[in-house]
Amino acid sequence: MEKQIATELRKLLKDAQRQFLSLHNNFPGKQPFSGIVRTNALPCGSGSRIGGIYPTISRINHSCLPNAHNSWDSASGHENIYAVRFIGAGEEITISYDHGGPSDERRRHLKDAFDFDCDCSICSRQLDELQQSDERGREITRLDSEIGNALRVLQSPKDCLKDCQVMLQILEEEYEGSPGVHLVRLYYDAFQISIVHDDQARARALCRAVI
């Protein structure tokens, strides 16, 4: 990968090369180009193995309670940043690099993948608050898996929708009233459960609610 990146880098204009080389590298060593890519690449779509490097967006730091969300638009070929809560003048814009769960799992993932210790406002909570937050994180992961269980969606749609409601309350609590993209995913899941059972009225209401 190092050689491949070096070849691609040589094709860029000097300014673009400088922009790339000025990005942070969490993995200094013998493979500086790969280190910069590993530190700064954002996936082009959820779960994509293709990533993009951006002179500005790649500099956005992580928070487990982010105020923005990154999203790849395949039609325009652009990575977009959306505010998910009010961002005050001078406040740092943050996005989430992890997939949720309790703080020890999040912090381990962030350390392994990006080599930093998260000290965001959630990870820095007092011990008793952090334990409650971790409990919510575990419950969100459990409910997410229950809601995504295709067989259960077919056999027990009402139970799945009830889980969506419980999840909504937990998300509101954990993300201090602004669950952002988690909320959109949850509504989309509830929409899918409804449409699978041809409950078009509910599906329409869920679409309207999220818009």
What is the nearest approach in angstroms of Zn ion to the Cβ of residue 8?
33
What is the nearest approach in angstroms of Zn ion to the Cβ of residue 171?
16
Q: How far is CA 61 from CA 90, 93, 126, in A?
A: 15, 7, 22
* Pairing status of strand 94-95 against strand 61-62: parallel
Between CA 24 and CA 16 the distance in angstroms is: 15
- Give the nearer residue to Zn ion in terms of CB position, either 62 or 202: 62
Give yes or no for a contact between 68 and 94, defined as CB atoms under 8 angstroms apart.
yes
Between CA 106 and CA 159 the distance in angstroms is: 29
Binding site for Zn ion (CB under 5 A): 64, 118, 120, 123
- Give the nearer residue to Zn ion in terms of CB position, either 123 or 193: 123
Residue 88: CB atoms within 10 A of its CB come to 6
- Give the nearer residue to Zn ion in terms of CB position, either 68 or 190: 68
What is the nearest approach in angstroms of Zn ion to the Cβ of residue 121?
8
- Give the nearer residue to Zn ion in terms of CB position, either 2 or 135: 135
Tracing tokens 């703080």 back to the chain, one arrives at: 103
What is the nearest approach in angstroms of Zn ion to the Cβ of residue 106?
6
